Structure 1
Amino acid sequence: MTSVPIPIPSRTQFVLEGIKHRILTGQLTPGQALVETELAAQFGVSKTPVREALKTLAGTGLVVMNQYKGVTVRMVDADMAREVYDVRLLLEPEALRRTVRRQASLDAARDALTRADDASDTAERSLSNREFHRALYVSCGNPLLGRMLDEVRDQAALVSAVAWAADPSWEREAGEHREILCLALDGDADGAARALHAHIESFVRRAFPETQEEVGQE
């Protein structure tokens, strides 16, 4: 039985999703080099779709393209994490507030939380966490707001993956997720938004605490 070739237009997307999955699940780690020839061989494609996929991933902030060092998975440091989470703090609670006020379905959030609880490994749990948060804002009624949050979604997942590798704190986050969802399902838009804000803020502070020097500069 012969294999069905991947249609030309979808090869770049196929490679892009494959590389992204490896990055967000920790199979490719921050700072790791991404070599076109190696990736092309792994995905069974030419270098062209790999090159295009890497350009797209650079645009989303998951990889860095350097004239001398080539392409590497983006490093995660405190400044990067705080920038990404600052955007989330400004936008995500308001998006959830609007989702609840619209009485939009939160079934996808409930399902993602269940998958995360049942996950057998960190990779599966990380992806479920990513889907849970998106389910809270995707039905906010403002497509532009949703797209803006989608823009930082992958970078936020990368930050989470790095933080969990250093300090597996999933149980704490899972409890906070359940509280957020419970408030949202009860129709408490403001309470759910406050709980989500506290959840995002506390995570980045735990994972990337401020130094004494930074505190003194405030």
Structure 2
Amino acid sequence: MAFAPSPIPSRTQYVLEAIKHDILTGGLRPGQALVEAELAARFGVSKTPVREALKTLAGSGLVVMNQYKGVTVRMVDADMARAVYDVRLLLEPEAVRRAVASGAPLDEAREALERAAGAEDPAERSLANRAFHRALYLPCGNPLLGRMLDEVRDQAALVSTVAWAAVPSWEREAAEHQEILRLAAAGDVEGVGRAVHEHIASFVERAFPQSPLISE
């Protein structure tokens, strides 16, 4: 008999989401140390939920656990960015094609773009952009494909946070998002797939021009 995994305790989930938010919005920088005692004091909890949250974040690739250096926010370099975005290039255009071919509604994607356009800071804009991409690929009809993209979603967001700090190209990306949405609304399955591929590839090439993507 199969058993469902136990849900994450509420305190651990709270700490997990708070730390993840700080990492993905630049509040915690790559390489920054994450000290259990300091985080426990900050969130008003014991070290146990902090420790469990950090283990989960390590599993998703946002933090690194080292026996000697402790826990730090993952550093972003060209190799890491190339690997993450190569997975997106292999999977996301096809997922979006399938979602558009199935006639999936685009309301959530439109709302995400509106939030991004009205964002008052890079953190809010980054979260809205993540929601836009997920709204397009998740209705692909293959839950495993959606989960695979979700697994690299946080790492991709970490890459974009670092890249935007160095190369603030969000205006160009906003225009590309609008074109992707236009093609999706028109039901242009192949066109939207190409646009998503070009959008993903061009971003990492601008941010890390020294290293071409694997799939090119």
Q: Pick the TM interval, shorter chain.
A: over 0.9
Q: Map 1:28-177 onto structure 2 (within 5 A).
A: 28-177=28-177
Tell me how far apart the structure 1 counterparts of residues 155 and 109 of structure 2 sit (CA, whole Å): 20
User: C-alpha root-mean-square deviation of aligned residues, in Å?
Assistant: 1.4
TM-superposed CA distance for 1:210, in Å, is 2.0
**Which whole-Å CA distance do the structure 1 matches of 2:210 and 2:15 have between them?**
37
The one-letter code matched in structure 1 to 2:41 is: A
Runs of 4+ in 1 over 3 A off after TM superposition: none
d(CA) in 2 for partners of 1:39, 1:193: 42
SS of 2:65's partner is strand
In structure 1, how many angstroms separate the alpha carbons of the residues matched to 2:43 and 2:194?
43
Cα distance in 1 between the residues matched to 2:98 and 2:210: 32
CA distance, structure 2, for counterparts of residue 179 and residue 40 of structure 1: 44
Pairing 1:206–2:206 present: yes
TM-score normalised to structure 2 length: 0.94
Alpha-carbon distance in 2 for matches of 1:77, 1:210: 11
**What pairs up with 1:166-205 in 2 under 5 angstroms?**
166-205=166-205
How far off its partner does 1:106 sit? 1.2
Matched residue type, 1:15: V
Structure 2: distance between partners of 1:138 and 1:40: 34
C-alpha offsets along residues 61-95 of structure 1, whole Å, 9 cap, x if unaligned? 00000000000000000000000000000000000
Q: CA deviation at 1:9?
A: 2.1
1:4 paired residue number? none
User: Paired residue for 1:5?
Assistant: none
The CA deviation string for residues 162-189 of structure 1, in whole angstroms up to 9 with x for no partner, is 0001111100000000000100011001
Q: Distance in 1 between matches of 2:189 and 2:15?
A: 39
Q: Give the letter for the 1:109 counterpart.
A: A
Amino acid at match of 2:42: Q
Secondary structure of the equivalent of 1:139? helix
CA distance in 2 between counterparts of 1:106 and 1:43 reads 37
In 2: Cα distance, 1:154 partner to 1:24 partner: 7
CA distance in 1, matches of 2:25, 2:104: 30
How many residue pairs get matched?
207
**How many Å separate the matches in 2 of 1:94 and 1:147?**
14
Identical pairs, percent: 78
User: How many angstroms apart in 2 are the aligned matches of 1:31 and 1:179?
Assistant: 36
Aligned equivalents of 1:144 and 1:207: distance in 2?
29
TM superposition score normalised by structure 1: 0.93
